[in-house]
A and B are shown apart, each in its own frame.
Chain A
């Protein structure tokens, strides 16, 4: 959890909003630091987190999480974190015949199917336990990242359907949050990705967009972060608020500053 980003977003783990869809987007740079931020943020807020990690292994998130002050192994042990490791599960699905339906079942199918098994997995992971005591505040679904599902043969519509079902269950029914990461391919003319990105942009309440600098690589400023608050359900009486900051990623934190105000320049 990056304290400066919390200040910019005006939230703390104690009083975060519920029932929101947050869209993380990166263009020409790596936006994975935002995923690490939200993962540690929600674990510190004592939420039940279901993390669908399709792009990296568990130990990667675990080691970065330790730098940010959360222990993923302990969270998994006490049931706070349900982790789906995409890379490892893909190997199991492809090489061993599974008896019960597997969340990544679609890897075995020749035609573009749907993501129903994955949704069932998420719902099963986040459903509230009827044991009486409420250990966790609210459920959170984190997906890193959705563009990989397009590479694995899913259509953009199937992925949008999956997010719609997840939103209905997690945001509306269980009053939780959903955070997803999508890559913006920019000028690579990836139509499916553009459909997915536009569809999600219209549904989300908060969009965080990490962009590389237009002028190229810089050692002191790693990129630019654009924050956009939206209210998709209400007609736009108020204008959507938007802020832009530049950032530099350090070993354990990220520092944000206004455009052109990098400490290296001043």
Chain B
């Protein structure tokens, strides 16, 4: 597994007033050596962290987001030290799912969790986490659920439906015995013993709001200031930034903040266009990112951006976050009746991927992605199945063939070939 950070000794400052004496600087952006895939032999000098792996592109340490399909779209996973911002869907139905997958992944890997919410008690959030699907049960679960005549098996070379082979592959099956990225059953709860065995910290705003502030308020709303103080405290006390001499921590801290920016946090950007503290949220994000960059932690934030009145703030928040993923559900919108979106529950937009330690980033070519929540699984798929423009007749014949061979339900828009012009 990955070789963890050896504290790269940054040379002492040369008379610069600001380069504060930083001792062994544990940033998460250390270059991992090429021996990253080696096994742990006896007496290792470098400890590997469970649930992480180095990025193929630049050796960055990555953690899984809890959804292997999302990991693939983000270039392997979420880099340690970065912020994943989820723009909530309109009725906040699917973004809590992504939030819970992230936390569940942390529990399965043994990471420390920090859950912050202004709406729900973190203990209740943890009770509702989905149960992990273990390898031996996986195959049976998938045979019931998977729509297997639409997605190709990777090894079978297709003779008839050869155009499907050119489609990008989205993994929906379990990778056996993978220690990175697990599958979860959304209909079952995480077993109680796993939750109790994990190390977690909760921040529930109504409880903490009455305690006194240790830091002077710096024009952030009190809720944000307290949260920052709490996070910084945990990072220091448990040694995630390597500065505490008593604690030698070699684990990842997963931070989850729910509904940031909503009025429950005391912020008014969702209520008024030019409120009093319009810089509170952006300042909070900046300082949070500063904390994350200097510690072994990764953060997921869900934010109701559709409620923010001032569009400029959304642009600024996007710039200040590393990865931004937007969810758009079809409930109540005119797209619900569109036959193209019949099988899906919403669209997922990857709005931004960071370029870390690199000039380029792993942007995926597939831009039109949709998600659906089946009985047990949350899957992400590419909508447009066949994208070449000279394929009209082949689509028609192909669909007829597939109907006969796999007995697919007849799709209304494959009925007459001349109507394809309208759609394509």
Q: Which residues of A contact B (CB under 8 A)?
A: 30, 32-33, 36, 55, 57-60, 63-64, 67, 73, 76-79, 82-92, 94-95, 100, 102-103, 107-111, 121, 124-125, 147-148, 150-153, 183, 185, 188-193, 216-217, 219, 222, 249-252, 254
Contacts and interface: CB of A to CB of B under 8 A. Distances in A.
7 contacts: A64-B357, A67-B359, A86-B290, A87-B286, A110-B219, A124-B17, A190-B311
Contact of A57 (B27, B58, B358, B363): B27
Contacts of A84: 18
B359 A250 contact: yes
A232 B154 CA distance: 61
Given A57-B27, A185-B315, 10 more contacts: A63-B29, A63-B31, A67-B359, A85-B19, A90-B290, A111-B219, A148-B320, A151-B283, A216-B367, A249-B359
A151 B19 CA distance: 23
Contacts, number: 143
A107 to B, nearest CB: 6
Nearest to A107: B218
Given A76-B11, A90-B290, A188 B18 contact: no
A251 B337 CA distance: 44
A116 to B, nearest CB: 15
A50 B84 CA distance: 31
Contact of B18 (A78, A87, A121, A252): A121
B155 to A, nearest CB: 27
Interface string B16-50: 11111010000101110000000000000000000
A150 B310 CA distance: 15
Interface residues of B, number: 51
B316 interface: yes
B359 A76 contact: no
A153 B357 contact: no
B11 A147 contact: no
Interface string B286-324: 110111011000000000000000011011100110000
A226 to B, nearest CB: 20
A151 B320 contact: yes
A254 B359 CA distance: 9
Given A76-B14, A103-B18, A250-B359, A63 B218 contact: no
B218 A110 contact: yes
The residue among B20, B286, B314 with the most chain A CB atoms within 10 A of its own CB is: B286
Contacts of A107: 218, 283, 287
B282 interface: yes
B320 to A, nearest CB: 6
Nearest to A219: B365
Nearest to A100: B17
The 6 A-B pairs of least Cβ separation, nearest first, read A190-B312, A87-B290, A188-B315, A151-B282, A110-B219, A153-B279
Contacts of A152: 279, 282-283, 286
B216 interface: yes
Contact of B312 (A58, A185, A222): A185
